[in-house]
A and B are shown apart, each in its own frame.
Chain A
Amino acid sequence: MGKSEDVFNVERIRQLIDLMEERGLNEVELKQEDQHIRLVRGLAMAQAAVAPAAVPVAAASVPEPTPQAIDGPHIKVITAPMVGTFYDKPNPNAEPFVKIGSKVSADTVVCIVEAMKVFNEIPAEVKGTVVEVLAGNEEAVDFGRPLFKVDTRS
C-alpha cells in the first residue's frame, strides 16, 4: 500500500478534522490493519489524547485540545438573550444566583441582564449542572454572549 493511501496520512486527518468541525461530529475512529486512531473533539478529546495511540505520528498531527475546554454534546451554553449589563446576583449583598456545581432546571434564574433600567431575569431554559461561569458580575454583554455552560447529563 502506497504512502498516499495511508488512512493516517496527515492531509487526510486534517480533512477529517475540518469535516468534524463542519458537521459538528464529536468522534471519528479509523482502523487500518493493526493500527487505529480516534479523533475526539472537546473535553472528551483531552481525555482521548492520553489514551493509547497506536500511531504516534498520526496522533501528533491532531491539534492540541484547549486544556480547559468544556464541550461536547452534553454541554449547553446559556447565552445573553439581549444586550446589557450582566449581574450574577439579585442585589450587591446577595449570593450569586448560581455557581459552578449548582443544579438548574429550565425555570431556574441564572442571572440578570439589565438594560434601560429593565432588570431581565434570565432562566436557564435547560436542566443540568453549571460547569462554567463565563461572564463577570457587572460586565457589559452583547446579544449572544456565552454566560454559562451547563452539563445536561447531571
Chain B
Amino acid sequence: MSLPEINAGVRQRILKQGWIQFLDWQHEVDSTNQRAKEWLLDWAESASLPALFVADVQLAGRGRGGKVWFSPEGCLMFTLAIGRSLLPESPQHWSQLALVSAAAVAECVASWIPDGTRRVALKWPNDTFLAGRKCSGILVESGAGGARLIGIGINVHVDFSPAPAEVRQRATSMHEHTLSDEPRLNDRKLDPGQVLADLLGLLQFYIGDWSSGGDAWLSVWQRRCLLSGKMLEIRCGNGQRLLGSCLGIDAQGCLMLETQAGIACIASGEVLSWQ
C-alpha cells in the first residue's frame, strides 16, 4: 500500500485541521526524526510549528538506544515537531511527553479496533500493545530551539511474514485485528493516512491538555496500563536491576514498583520482562 497514491485527500484533511503548520511527506527517508532535526536547524526560530514529517518507508528508523525499528510499507511512520510553547512551564514535566503521546496513540488504535477498549494496552513508558503484542513505539528527542520531536511508528497494515521470527512473535499490525480481509470500521477503510489524520487530532487534544496542566493522559494510562499487577524485572537507567510487583503509574508518569526494599518510583529504565 503506497501512501502517496491514496493520501492526497489525507494531506488536505491534515492541513485543513489547522494544527499542523508545515507538512513534509517523503516516500523514503533514513529517519523522520533525523529529517525533522535537520529542518529545525535550517529554520531555527522561524520554523513553523507544529511540523509534521511523514515517510512511507524509513530506512534507518530508530528506537531507544539505537535499536532498529522494522519499518516496511503499511507502517505509519512520522515525526511531529512541537515548539517549546506547547510544553508545560516546568521542565520537571517535560519527560511526560512520551506518555502523553502514547495515550493519544492508544486511544487512536482502540478507536479502529473492535473491542479496542479491552484489547489495547499501554506498556510503560510509551509502547502500545494490541492483544498482547506491540503495535506502536515512540522515540522523543530534542531539537533546535527547545523543540521536541515525537517520532511515532504504528503498524497499521504491515505484512510481517517476511520479518525475522523474533519480530513476528512480538509485533502485530492493526489490520490483523479487524473483522474482514478488507478492514473497515464504520465504513472507513483502514489505512495509515486515515489513522494519521485521526491521531493528529488526538495528539493535539492530549498535548494541549497536558501543556495547560491537565491529566487526561494519566487517566488513559490508569485504564490501559499493561504492567499493573504484574511481576516485573527492570533495568534502571544507571544499570541497576530491580524486581517487583507493578503498582501502576504515579501522577508524574513514573512506574511504581513494590520491591522487597520498599516502593520504587522509576523515571528512567527498561522493562525487561513481565508476567
When distances are taken between beta carbons in the complex, the residues of chain B under 8 Å from A84 are 95, 237, 267-268
Q: Give min CB distance, A138 to chain B, whole Å.
A: 6
When distances are taken between beta carbons in the complex, the residues of chain B under 8 Å from A18 are none
When distances are taken between beta carbons in the complex, the residues of chain B under 8 Å from A27 are none
When distances are taken between beta carbons in the complex, the residues of chain B under 8 Å from A114 are 95, 237, 268
A140 to B95, CA, bound (A): 15
Known A140-B237, A140-B268: A118·B92 in contact at CB below 8 Å: no
A118 to B140, CA, bound (A): 5
Interface status of B238 (Cβ within 8 A of chain A) = yes
Contact of B140 among A81, A91, A119, A123 (CB under 8 A): A119
A106-142 CB mask vs B (1 if < 8 Å, else 0) is 0001001011111111010000000000000011100
When distances are taken between beta carbons in the complex, the residues of chain B under 8 Å from A119 are 140-142
Q: Establish whether residues A81 and B268, one from each chain, have CB atoms under 8 Å apart when the complex forms.
A: no
Q: Establish whether residues A120 and B94, one from each chain, have CB atoms under 8 Å apart when the complex forms.
A: yes
Q: Which of A109, A114, A139 has the most CB of B within 10 A?
A: A114
A74-93 CB mask vs B (1 if < 8 Å, else 0) is 00000001111100000100
Q: Give min CB distance, B162 to chain A, whole Å.
A: 28
B contacts with A: majority SS: mixed
For A137, the closest partner residue in chain B by CB is B238
Contact of B236 among A81, A91, A140 (CB under 8 A): A140
A contacts with B: majority SS: strand
Interface status of B164 (Cβ within 8 A of chain A) = no
Contact of B125 among A85, A112, A117 (CB under 8 A): A117
Contact of A116 among B141, B146, B268 (CB under 8 A): B268
Q: Establish whether residues A82 and B238, one from each chain, have CB atoms under 8 Å apart when the complex forms.
A: no
A119 to B268, CA, bound (A): 11
Chain A residues within CB distance 8 Å of chain B: 81-85, 91, 109, 112, 114-121, 123, 138-140, 143
Chain B residues within CB distance 8 Å of chain A: 64, 66, 91-99, 124-126, 138-142, 146, 148, 236-239, 253-254, 267-268
Given contacts A118-B96, A119-B141, 18 further A-B contacts (CB under 8 A): A82-B92, A82-B94, A83-B268, A91-B66, A114-B95, A114-B237, A115-B267, A115-B268, A116-B267, A116-B268, A118-B95, A118-B97, A120-B95, A120-B142, A121-B141, A140-B237, A140-B268, A143-B92
- Subset of 15 A-B contacts with CB under 8 Å: A81-B92, A82-B91, A82-B95, A83-B95, A85-B237, A114-B268, A115-B95, A115-B267, A116-B96, A116-B124, A116-B126, A117-B139, A117-B140, A118-B96, A121-B142
